[in-house]
Chain A
Amino acid sequence: EIVLTQSPGTLSLSPGERATLSCRASQSVSKSYLAWYQQKPGQAPRLLIYDASSRATGIPDRFSGSGSGTDFTLTISRLEPEDLAVYYCQQYGDSPLTFGGGTKVEIK
Chain B
Amino acid sequence: QLQLQESGPGLVKPSETLSLICTVSGGSLGFHYWAWIRQTPGRGMEWIGHIDHIGDAYYNPSLKSRVTISVDTSKNQFSLKLSSVTAADTAVYYCARDPGDFWSGYSFWYFDLWGRGTLVTVSS
Contacts and interface: CB of A to CB of B under 8 A. Distances in A.
Interface residues of A, number: 22
Contacts of B111: 35, 37, 45, 47, 90
Interface in B43-90: 44-47, 58, 60-62
B110 A99 contact: no
Interface residues of B, number: 18
A88 B94 CA distance: 15
A101 B109 contact: no
A101 B94 CA distance: 17
A44 B117 contact: yes
B114 A44 contact: yes
Classify the secondary structure of B's interface with A: loop
Given A44-B94, A50-B108, A88 B116 contact: no
B45 A50 contact: no
Contacts of A102: 44
Classify the secondary structure of A's interface with B: loop
A23 to B, nearest CB: 13
Interface of A: 33, 35, 37, 43-47, 50, 56-57, 88, 90, 92, 95-102
B109 A45 contact: no
Nearest to A36: B110
Contact of A99 (B44, B58, B62): B44
B110 A35 contact: yes
Contacts of B108: 50, 92
Given A56-B112, A95-B58, A101-B44, 11 more contacts: A44-B94, A44-B116, A44-B117, A45-B45, A45-B111, A46-B114, A90-B110, A95-B61, A96-B47, A99-B46, A99-B47
A73 to B, nearest CB: 17
